[in-house]
Structure 1
Amino acid sequence: MQTAPEPAPAQDPATGNAALEDRAAGCLVGAAVGDALGGPVEGWTPEQITARHGGRVTGIVGPFHEDWRTARPIAPFHKGDGHVTDDTLMTHALVRVYEKVRDHLDAFDIADHLVPDLIGTPRWIPELEDEALPLHRIFLAEKWIVARLHYGHIDPREAGVGNIVNCGAAMYMAPVGIVNAGHPDRAYAEALDLSGAHQSSYGREAAGVFAAAVAAAFVPDATVGSVIGHALRLAKDGTRAAIEAVCEAAALYTGFESALAPLRAAVAPFDTVGPDYRNPSLGARRPSRLHSIEELPIALGLLLACGGDFRGTVLGSVNYGRDCDSIATMSGAISGALHGAAAVPAEWSTEVARASRLDLHAPAAALAAVAREVFARDRARRRAHEQAFATLTGVAEG
């Protein structure tokens, strides 16, 4: 098994950045790199990926189809060649919401700020190779929030009800974990609140648990085991059962090569999509207390099987296939948060930034600044509460 880097110190010796900034960069850059590596093989099986690329994917590759513009008319996107997908576009959009609000978010902030961002400001869309509204790239389950909130004027707290249940909200929840760095319980609650505008049932639950896992990875002495422990402690119903089953299977392996099939078998009873990812079953993506999205348990399982090593964890996620860009986004975010920016291979991050025409570090720096401000506000609010409670009870603060 590859040896994972030690958790990031209070200050990164190479950059001089404080651990918060360093781990935030590791998290968001790691998520974007995972997304870009997974995009070109999304939807395929490990066997199909191996046949297409002559073996395992070991880095940035080109599109699965040479005729990518017409191969899948519903998704005429240039996936591959270092292009990030909607996972990263949505993640960066949520960062921009935090930059505006500069405090904790709720479902109303999704309506008031995220939706206008998606429909009001053209941005460079790597997979379209053009400037366009993000709305024109995000997929149908994400367009739902625009239809429900902007056009339907649904209560944001309930707007996610009726959407297909998938990983659409979970895939961009890493910023919630960063703002609540070191406080997984608060990250879980905040993600559940704001993702109510987008998802329901186990899709919403996964958003909360993923944010909590990211926040847990920021704890100074965090390990893969402690991150998974917090995820299991907070997860409910089928999400918890799926994480437990996948991690029990993952614990038997050292590396991803032999783990891919057993991890898929472990999550299959909880996954409503079924064996053919491109042809979901009739019962797929419906609310349930017994089921789970596939992506988060697999991301955590591969993190465990690879000992937290960024390269192994992300490549395992990519070669797993199916919704592998989202799996690699989640696993890359958690591994990057555990170990800091240096854990993300520079040859990947540099090329993804160049190919996608994105500054991958700027959102992390901006969000770390917001996290510091939010912590200061939380501390002031907590002290005000302590003083009020002391007055009510006659018990002096101490």
Structure 2
Amino acid sequence: MTTPTLEDRATGCLVGAAVGDALGGPVEGWTPEAIAERHGGRVRGIVEPFFKDEWRTARPIAPYHKGDGHVTDDTLMTHALVRVYEKVRDHLDAYAVADHLVPDLIGTPRWIPELEAEALPLQRIFLAEKWIVARIHYGHVDPREAGVGNIVNCGAAMYMAPVGVVNAGNPGAAYAEALDVAGAHQSSYGREAAGVFAAAVASAFKPGATPSSVVSDALALAKDGTRAAIEAVCETATAHSDFESALAPLRAAVAPFDTVGPEYRQPSLGARRPSRLHSIEELPVALGMLLAGAGDYRESVLGSVNYGRDCDSIATMSGAIVGALSGAAAVPADWSAEVARASRLDLVTPAESLASVAREVYAKDVDRRRAHEAAFAALAAV
């Protein structure tokens, strides 16, 4: 077997994330039992909206057309971050969010699959993402601190795959950059998860990387409740060789660290508050499904989808990591083609563009490193 190229892995990563997002969207918020009852068994591919033709008015989904291959805000935000990299063509920080991401969200109409209309991305993204605009554009808050006070959720983590691509093979650098970028959006374990997810993606780009090595790299960087949750979930996942048997055990393993509580649509009073003891649910479960599925795209992503709850984000994360591990061929071509057609999105070009940016950034990093080496050598010789 040939080792996938940087471009192939980048394509697998972003396409894999988008397809996972689209598969998880129509069953987001439900339990595995409700999903199986609605679909007559486990979801095995692209499915229709949970409420079929009543998606425009059925609560709590309305007015979004989730299903039929439509991506959600996870992918919209991921592509928006890619566009920031295309402009900056270097590492990003919180100020890049203020200077480029916020204007993109509020100034350029784009096709929004779930609204079946062209609209500003701001009109689709969740309140936790609108926070970025409110705090930075209207509140003029220091971008590095703008995430403080926002609800703590997976909102920043879900679109951090591009940070991992740009730092391909360097999990530590991806972690640090994602923490900086996510500071404009999240605090506490939401920001931490953004760093660890970016690190996991960067780790998956290493030649010879495996699901286990990705988890090891993630654990080496993760802190506090995020680390504990990943440890607990991944230890549980190693006892399973398929997603079906892993569904309930993974939920039980992450439950002590998850603030939302057993009823996803009725969060507990302590939900989404800053804490050093807790973790978002999505990232540990995505890594657990990566292990239970042994890095197979269908098994890992379908496990993420059928897990329910915030399964579009879970499948976005597991899909991104598997795609980075194995390249574009890992993502079923019929799924990716249908998601691109239904969502009216080019899923490949953003990945190719991001890989080009990654090469440019690496060249700049080499130049910066050599300049530092020369300066330190001269200094040390004195």
> TM-score higher than 0.5 here?
yes
The corresponding residue for 1:60 is 46
Aligned 8 A contact 2:72 2:113 in 1: yes
Among 325, 335, 359, the alignment partner of 1:372 is 359
**Cα offset for 1:32?**
0.1
Q: Which runs of 4+ in 1 moved over 3 A?
A: none
Among 3, 15, 18, the alignment partner of 1:9 is 3
**Cα offset for 1:259?**
0.5
**Cα offset for 1:72?**
2.3
The corresponding residue for 1:275 is 262
Among 325, 332, 343, the alignment partner of 1:338 is 325
Q: C-alpha distance in 2, partners of 1:37/1:153?
A: 37
The corresponding residue for 2:341 is 354
Q: C-alpha distance in 2, partners of 1:351/1:72?
A: 26
**Cα offset for 1:71?**
1.2
The corresponding residue for 1:3 is none
- Residues paired across the two proteins, number: 381
Q: C-alpha distance in 2, partners of 1:120/1:146?
A: 11
Name the amino acid aligned to 1:130: A
**Cα offset for 1:70?**
1.1
Does residue 238 of structure 2 align to residue 230 of structure 1? no
Helix, strand or coil: the match of 1:35? Answer: helix
Unaligned runs of 5+ in 2: none
Helix, strand or coil: the match of 2:144? Answer: coil
Name the amino acid aligned to 2:309: R
Q: C-alpha distance in 1, partners of 2:93/2:48?
A: 38
Aligned 8 A contact 2:193 2:280 in 1: yes
Identity %: 82
Helix, strand or coil: the match of 1:70? Answer: coil
Match runs of 1:1-398 below 5 Å: 9-10=3-4, 19-66=5-52, 67-72=54-59, 75-394=62-381
Name the amino acid aligned to 1:115: V
Unaligned runs of 5+ in 1: 1-5, 11-18
**Cα offset for 1:55?**
0.3
Aligned 8 A contact 2:297 2:323 in 1: yes
Name the amino acid aligned to 1:47: E
Aligned 8 A contact 2:55 2:61 in 1: no
Helix, strand or coil: the match of 1:231? Answer: helix
Helix, strand or coil: the match of 1:31? Answer: helix
**Cα offset for 1:221?**
1.2
Q: C-alpha distance in 1, partners of 2:215/2:340?
A: 30
Aligned 8 A contact 2:43 2:305 in 1: yes
Helix, strand or coil: the match of 1:257? Answer: helix
Helix, strand or coil: the match of 1:358? Answer: coil
1 or 2, which has the higher helix percentage?
Answer: 2
**Cα offset for 1:394?**
1.3
**Cα offset for 1:347?**
0.7
Name the amino acid aligned to 1:53: H
Give the 3 Å change call, closer, same or farther, for CA 294–73 of structure 1 in structure 2. closer
Aligned 8 A contact 2:240 2:246 in 1: yes
Q: Deviations over 1:212-267 (max 9, x none)?
A: 00000000111111100000000000000000000010000001001000000000
**Cα offset for 1:73?**
6.0
Q: C-alpha distance in 1, partners of 2:101/2:133?
A: 9
The corresponding residue for 1:13 is none
* TM-score normalised to structure 2 length: 0.99
Helix, strand or coil: the match of 2:244? Answer: coil
